[in-house]
Structure 1
Amino acid sequence: MHPLFLPSSSSSSALFLLLLLLLTLQTLTSISLSQPEALPSPEKCGNFSISFPFHLSSSSSSSPVPFRLTCANSSTLFLHRNHQTYRVIEFFTDGLLVDFPSSPCRQFNDLRSFPFSTNQFFSISFENVISLYDCEDSSLCKAGCESNVLFGCDGREEDETSGGGDIGCCYPLSDHSAWRPGDDFSVFGKYGCRGFSSWVVPRGRNRGKRGVKLEWAIPRNSSEGTCDPEARTVNATAIQGSVRCVCRDGFAGDGFVHGNGCLRSCYRDGNEVYGNKCEIKKHNGKKLTVLAGVLAPLFILGSLLALFCLLKRPVTTTHEGQHFDHSPTTTTTSVSFRKGYTKTRLFTYRELEEATKGFQDSQKLTQGKTGTIYSGNLKNGTRVLVHKVLCENQIEFLEISSQIDHLSAVLHRNLARIIGFCMDIGYNPVVVYEYPVNGSLEDRLRLGLDWCKRVNIVAEVAGLLALLQYENYPPILHNNIGSGYIFLDEDFQAKVTGFGLQRKQRTDSCMYDVAVLLLEIVTGSKQREENVTQALQRIRCGKLEEIVDPSLYFHEQPVVYREQIGLVADIATRCVLFGGDGKFGMVDAARELLQIAENNGGGGCDKKGDGIEETFSNSSLLQMISMSPDSIYLPKT
């Protein structure tokens, strides 16, 4: 069977109508379906109720192995990790409180007595507050930490201490200055500390429970991590790339498809009830008749329109083994921002699974707020980037389908060309991009990249983002720009991928992302939130050279390049400080970066092709960028 190439105008209409029909059918079907009237009974161990993904080792649950627990004497619950046994004290929605392994209760424990290593399922939580004993470096102690009420050994009230009574040097793990996610408590040994105790202090409270809280989560791309349609996905705070499912308001359950899912919850006669018991029985038949009467004509009309669009659709085919035409005549060679006719292929999910080897981790290139990008090879040998877009519900699914068609019609030399997409019901939307030959900016920074290329790349990216934001309606915001989503062609020109295609996007977060990107080309490394704060502090204190990428050999650079590094760092600072209130926008950043890149044009920077300023040709933004800051009008978004 030959793959079809659909023109974007007709395919968008047909696709949207087909999606509308499917959703209509689903709505009609869901009216007649019934929900269970009670949540399944959880496993028990003494006073503990055990919910998915946790389960007893004696059960036949399909939960991941790391969440297996053992119940001793029908009352005491244990977690087993790396040949260590931890007694469970309490469950939280995002974690569990455990005791120190196989040791009697004591005021201070050895720093090596809790050898817990972080993995994709568990990590020591930020909510732990620890008391350190006999530390040589008192700078570790944090003022105000002692105001927490921390109970003594065994939690006896008579041993309660507060106000800094006898808890030694107090340090909250949320401070991040000495302890980072992935560390265990032995890291405090380098400060000369000899022992520690731990409490969990939930956010917004000042009373601690003795023990160590472990955060749990499930890898985002695993089948066990699939959320119920009535649940939202929550990112773990201390475990990168892992999530939890939380039922939305009005629903109860564990939130996972492989668990109990989510049931509608409400109160009747003072008692919490679930499922059908929450439905108002009276007049249900009449309501169903009225609703069916309204939806049936829409269904018939939609069917006729969809059939008409499909019959009118022009179709071309490619033969087996034939490659996509990547010649400049069929793609955009112009650096201008314009819309035009473009062909995008409609893939099946199975095709893209085969291309990415089942979306294996070995094919994963980058992951962020907008989804995950994989490397793939189509059957005809074409290498592609496959972006699995994050999508939480059906409304977002429809928004993304519209935005994909809109974005694929945008022709710009710094926008990676969209080859096709997949919108199969039941799966995340997937966008297929061309694969630029020089890989991602993130990889190139690790290998080493000269300053000229770095500043040219970010100038091109900022120019593209400004054009998409201010010269396009509705505006297109990237929502997660970073070095992992920027790829480079044979001339090291930027090719941006990985757009977040939901419409609920904010310009202030885009400016922060640009700041992080600029800091990354200065420092040569990925910037976590705490690193961004520290980097900006050094910049504002005049200590820029302390954070510059060592591979740039800052002090050996020509004076003009050292000044440019300082200018880029200053732009990053203003993106953070003033990007949120509109005082410094994408146009401002693009204008200043363009000026820096233009100054490199005659300074020995190896630039190929048309000048970078042509990014803005045929655009009113070219005039805006040449204006003084006071004369620029920034459209509201």
Structure 2
Amino acid sequence: FPNHAAAGPISDPPAPEKSNTPVGVLSAARRRDRSYTGIIIGLCVGSTLGISGACIALFLCYQKDRSPIRMPENSFNEKSSELSIPPNKKGSLLIFNYQVLEHATDNFNEKRELGDGGFSSVYLGKLWDGRLVAVKKLFHDNSNRDEQFSNEVEIMSSLNHPNLVLLIGYCQYRRELLLVYEYALNGTLSDHLHGETKASKKLKWETRLDIALETAQALAYLHFSIKPPILHRDVKSSNILLDQNFRAKVADFGLSRLVPLEASHISTCPQGTPGYVDPDYHHSYRLTDKSDVYSFGVVLAELISAKKAVDITRNSRDIGLANLFVSKIQCGDLHELVDQNLEIDVKPLVREMVYRVAELAFRCLSVEKDDRPNMMEVAAQLQEIKRFGYAGCAERELSSYNSFNGVQETRKLLGHLCTGSPTSVQEKWRSSSTTPDSNENGFV
């Protein structure tokens, strides 16, 4: 301790000055000052906290609505639904908030509707980043909606091909099931061949041939490059989308099926669109890759004729385009069926390519599935026809692909039906009975 003695004596503190203000009055004034100060501080702190809390709450709500979530590695399973979506192999699918899609489509406004089918409606949507998308909303009254939804997500999440439409994500909210796809600016092939777009945007033959080739390549990819293979089961012109460059994008895999490895077919109840369904599949209940080939043959007939696959205004036997197409070939009148916009009378090279594609379509529409080429052969043949067109020489013979040649194979196909039958669709058939109708029991 310090030595206080050495520091000298400690003086007393000075006495406080006397005040004239009474002690009680002074204490009350000080208490009032402290009270006012506390109230002011409390109000400031409370206001600041309230404003900050409100801002944080608004920000969190805003982020919740705007930020999609990546699909988790485990199965996605909402409490409001028993559906289970398989894990996405590439982790690229997004799970969308329902309110986000509702806002993107202007509450699913009818003016935003791009089209509808038997199972769903499709709406144009605009996401927060300005990207245009096609939002597919499944109908509530579709008894198979759960299976189709899960099936489409499972299949599309594993595909990667430039001519297959891209699935961006999905939404599963209460009873609502929605799929979000990339938007195809030029609509569907059907729009350009039969719809209102036909008058304003006529498709040139070169564009039609490209669309046919790209669609064939996409189907060949599904049949031969995917393990297990995938059968589309609903190939038609309204399921072929066209982007800004008129590149084909095959869409709508709700009815598609995975084929077990080493299986020759799938036994299943026939489904599809009237006018496109394979008659062999319709009668035998056996779905094979040749069923997609038949449907594609109808699409080729549409590209050549610009006529609908089914038209009830035609006479009863020709309601189905497949019947009409083969009938015209039998009578040597295919030129009557060719779309006038192709101007084959003044464009001999186009005429030659059209007739060669017609040869291929005829083979695809064979009643016997074993007489049809597979999609890899179809794609190769279309590629050769395109090269033929580029060469600009009508005398050039098409090269073979794995011993497949349109004219030669057609000759073999027709030879056992009627000896001496014409081998080219440009020749006149002896009678309408020289080959079986491609759909003799009526369109399905």
Q: TM-score, normalised by structure 2?
A: 0.57
1:4 aligned residue: 68
1:626 aligned residue: 401
- Which SS does the other structure have where 1:455 is aligned? helix
Of 144, 166, 183, the match for 1:417: 166
> Could you say if the C-alpha distance between residues 586 and 369 of structure 1 is closer, same or farther in structure 2, counting changes exceeding 3 Å?
farther
Query: What do the CA deviations read for 1:68-101 (whole angstroms, capped 9, x no partner)?
Result: xxxxxxxxxxxxxxxxxxxxxxxxxxxxxxxxxx
| 1:391 Cα deviation from its structure 2 partner | 8.1
1:453 aligned residue: 207
- Which SS does the other structure have where 1:460 is aligned? helix
Q: How does 1:237-636 map to 2 (within 5 A)?
A: 341=90, 343-368=92-117, 371-389=120-138, 397-398=146-147, 400-427=149-176, 429-445=177-193, 446=198, 447-501=201-255, 503=257, 506-507=287-288, 508-528=290-310, 530-532=319-321, 533-557=323-347, 559-578=348-367, 580-581=369-370, 583-603=372-392, 626-629=401-404
* Percent identity (aligned): 31
Query: What do the CA deviations read for 1:177-219 (whole angstroms, capped 9, x no partner)?
Result: xxxxxxxxxxxxxxxxxxxxxxxxxxxxxxxxxxxxxxxxxxx
Q: Structure 1: give runs of 5+ residues left out of the alignment.
A: 25-301, 314-338, 605-624, 631-637
Separation (CA, whole Å) in 2 of partners of 1:387 and 1:431: 5
Query: What do the CA deviations read for 1:432-453 (whole angstroms, capped 9, x no partner)?
Result: 2112333332333412011011
CA contact (8 A) 1:441 1:488 kept: yes
Query: What do the CA deviations read for 1:396-441 (whole angstroms, capped 9, x no partner)?
Result: 62563254143123211111222111233423x3322112333332
> Could you say if the C-alpha distance between residues 564 and 366 of structure 1 is closer, same or farther in structure 2, counting changes exceeding 3 Å?
farther
Return the letter of the residue paired with 1:406.
I
| 1:509 Cα deviation from its structure 2 partner | 4.3
Separation (CA, whole Å) in 2 of partners of 1:20 and 1:394: 20
Separation (CA, whole Å) in 1 of partners of 2:245 and 2:150: 32
CA contact (8 A) 2:151 2:254 kept: no
| 1:537 Cα deviation from its structure 2 partner | 0.7
> Could you say if the C-alpha distance between residues 627 and 375 of structure 1 is closer, same or farther in structure 2, counting changes exceeding 3 Å?
same
> Could you say if the C-alpha distance between residues 392 and 574 of structure 1 is closer, same or farther in structure 2, counting changes exceeding 3 Å?
farther
CA contact (8 A) 1:400 1:502 kept: no
- What CA RMSD, in Å, does the superposition of the two structures yield over aligned residues? 3.5
> Could you say if the C-alpha distance between residues 397 and 521 of structure 1 is closer, same or farther in structure 2, counting changes exceeding 3 Å?
same
> Could you say if the C-alpha distance between residues 462 and 474 of structure 1 is closer, same or farther in structure 2, counting changes exceeding 3 Å?
same
Separation (CA, whole Å) in 2 of partners of 1:21 and 1:374: 24
> Could you say if the C-alpha distance between residues 627 and 370 of structure 1 is closer, same or farther in structure 2, counting changes exceeding 3 Å?
farther
CA contact (8 A) 2:305 2:337 kept: yes
> Could you say if the C-alpha distance between residues 349 and 512 of structure 1 is closer, same or farther in structure 2, counting changes exceeding 3 Å?
farther
Separation (CA, whole Å) in 2 of partners of 1:456 and 1:408: 26
- Which SS does the other structure have where 2:223 is aligned? helix
- Which SS does the other structure have where 2:82 is aligned? helix
CA contact (8 A) 1:579 1:585 kept: no
Separation (CA, whole Å) in 2 of partners of 1:462 and 1:569: 15
Return the letter of the residue paired with 1:382.
R
- Which SS does the other structure have where 2:93 is aligned? strand
Query: What do the CA deviations read for 1:299-334 (whole angstroms, capped 9, x no partner)?
Result: xxx9xxx9xx9xxx9xxxxxxxxxxxxxxxxxxxxx
CA contact (8 A) 1:369 1:480 kept: no
Return the letter of the residue paired with 1:478.
H
Indicate the structure with greater helix content.
2
- Which SS does the other structure have where 2:366 is aligned? helix
> Could you say if the C-alpha distance between residues 419 and 582 of structure 1 is closer, same or farther in structure 2, counting changes exceeding 3 Å?
farther
Return the letter of the residue paired with 1:513.
S
Count of matched residue positions in the alignment of Structure 1 and Structure 2: 293
Return the letter of the residue paired with 1:542.
G
Separation (CA, whole Å) in 2 of partners of 1:539 and 1:474: 37
> Could you say if the C-alpha distance between residues 399 and 474 of structure 1 is closer, same or farther in structure 2, counting changes exceeding 3 Å?
farther
Separation (CA, whole Å) in 1 of partners of 2:401 and 2:140: 39
Separation (CA, whole Å) in 2 of partners of 1:481 and 1:426: 28
Indicate the structure with greater strand content.
1
Return the letter of the residue paired with 2:186.
N
Separation (CA, whole Å) in 1 of partners of 2:165 and 2:96: 18
- Which SS does the other structure have where 1:554 is aligned? coil
| 1:4 Cα deviation from its structure 2 partner | 2.7
Query: What do the CA deviations read for 1:237-289 (whole angstroms, capped 9, x no partner)?
Result: xxxxxxxxxxxxxxxxxxxxxxxxxxxxxxxxxxxxxxxxxxxxxxxxxxxxx
Separation (CA, whole Å) in 1 of partners of 2:174 and 2:255: 17
> Could you say if the C-alpha distance between residues 487 and 470 of structure 1 is closer, same or farther in structure 2, counting changes exceeding 3 Å?
same
Separation (CA, whole Å) in 1 of partners of 2:110 and 2:335: 37
> Could you say if the C-alpha distance between residues 444 and 502 of structure 1 is closer, same or farther in structure 2, counting changes exceeding 3 Å?
closer
> Could you say if the C-alpha distance between residues 6 and 402 of structure 1 is closer, same or farther in structure 2, counting changes exceeding 3 Å?
farther
> Could you say if the C-alpha distance between residues 396 and 386 of structure 1 is closer, same or farther in structure 2, counting changes exceeding 3 Å?
closer
CA contact (8 A) 1:356 1:363 kept: yes
Query: What do the CA deviations read for 1:427-483 (whole angstroms, capped 9, x no partner)?
Result: 3x3322112333332333412011011111111101111111222133323322223
